Structure 1
Amino acid sequence: MRLKGFLWEKVSAVYLFLKGFKILEFNYRTRFGEIDIVCRDKDSIVFVEVKYRKSEKFGRAEEFVTESKRKKIIMAAKQYVVEKNIDTNIRFDVVAINGFKINHIKNAFEGE
Structure 2
Amino acid sequence: MNVLNKDIGSYGEDLACEYLLDIKHKILARNFRSKLGEIDIITFFNNMIIFTEVKSRYTNSYGSPMESVTYYKQKLIIKLSSYYILINKLNDYNIRYDVIEIFFNKSNQNFTINHIKDAFRAY
Shift of 1:53: 1.1
Task: Work out whether 1:90 is the aligned partner of 2:101.
Answer: no
- Give the 4+ runs in structure 1 shifted more than 3 A: none
Query: Which residue identity lines up with residue 32 of structure 2 in the other structure?
Result: Y
What residue in structure 1 maps to residue 21 of structure 2?
Answer: 17
Distance in 2, Cα, partners of 1:96 & 1:4? 12
User: C-alpha displacement at 1:84, in angstroms?
Assistant: 0.3
Q: Give the greater-gyration-radius structure (CA).
A: 2
What is residue 12 of structure 2 aligned with on the other side? 8
Structure 2 segments unaligned to the other structure (5+ residues): 105-110
Cα distance in structure 2, aligned partners of 1:56 and 1:79: 33
Distance in 1 (CA, whole Å) between partners of 2:114 and 2:39 is 18
> Percent identical across equivalent pairs?
39
CA-based RMSD of the aligned residues comes to 1.0
Aligned residues: 112
Letter of the structure 1 residue corresponding to residue 58 of structure 2: K
Displacement of 1:58 in angstroms is 2.7
Equivalents in 1 of 2:62, 2:38: separation in Å? 24
**In structure 2, which of residues 73, 76, 91 is the aligned counterpart of residue 72 of structure 1?**
76
Q: Report the TM-score when normalising by structure 2.
A: 0.87
Q: Which runs of 5+ in 1 are unaligned?
A: none
TM-score by length of 1: 0.95
State the distance in 2 between where 1:2 and 1:16 align: 21
